């Protein structure tokens, strides 16, 4: 899998995670049906938020690692071209 494809999949994962977090917040704060379920409603909205965090946070860290690595490689290649010139 190419690095560009991996970055695209990580960005999609972040968007899915943020959407799940927003759905969980909506269910917890604004849904009357969840309030009528009581504890089960709280658990359902918490599960949405938990899966949203699972999708979004680790991918952000990995994506940041990839971007820092790419920047360091570009910096190293530009330093080598300056030394040759």
Question: Is the confidence at residue 85, as pLDDT, over 80?
Answer: no
Q: Which stretches of the chain are DSSP H helices? A: 3-30, 32-37, 39-84
For the chain, what are the domain ranges? 3-84
- Residues 58 and 56: their CA atoms lie apart, in Å, by 6
Question: Is the confidence at residue 76, as pLDDT, over 80?
Answer: yes
Q: What is the pLDDT of residues 23-68, one digit of tens each?
A: 999 999 998 898 899 999 999 999 999 999 998 887 778 878 888 9
């Amino acid at each position: 899998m190419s690095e560009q494809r991996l970055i695209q999949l990580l960005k999609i994962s972040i968007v899915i995670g943020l959407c799940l977090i927003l759905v969980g917040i909506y269910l917890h704060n604004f849904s009357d049906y969840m309030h009528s379920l009581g504890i089960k409603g709280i658990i359902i909205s918490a599960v949405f938020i938990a899966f949203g965090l699972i999708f979004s946070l680790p991918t952000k860290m990995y994506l940041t690692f990839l971007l820092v690595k790419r920047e360091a490689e570009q910096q190293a290649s530009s330093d080598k071209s300056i030394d040759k010139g």
